[in-house]
Amino acid sequence: PEIGDATQLAAKAFDEGVKVGASGSHRLRACTHLDVDRDQVLEAAAIIGRCVESGVGDLVGSATGPYSRG
């Protein structure tokens, strides 16, 4: 599958319940709340991994946002 860029991956992760920001065309930014535990972080990482494996190149990412640099 076509891997795509960070904005597309962030959009796919958001659809799967994980909020991350694209801080460049090939970089994601993630941070957690104090109430997020280790298991939840590992689950988020697994979801992002599945998004990468399935490919996101056919999705439209956001060109704007707090961390978007294109």
> pLDDT tens across 27-63, in order?
999 999 999 999 999 999 999 999 999 887 666 655 5
pLDDT tens digits along 42-51: 999 999 999 9
Residue 21 forms part of a structural domain? yes
Residue 27 forms part of a structural domain? yes
**C-alpha to C-alpha distance for 19 and 1, rounded to whole angstroms:** 22
Residue 10 forms part of a structural domain? yes
User: How many C-beta atoms lie closer than 10 Å to residue 56's C-beta?
Assistant: 23
Q: Are 6 and 29 contacting, i.e. CB atoms less than 8 angstroms apart?
A: no
How many domains does one find in the chain? 1
Residue 64 forms part of a structural domain? no
pTM value > 0.85: no
Residue 40 forms part of a structural domain? yes
Give the range of the structural domain holding residue 49, as residue numbers without chain letter: 6-54
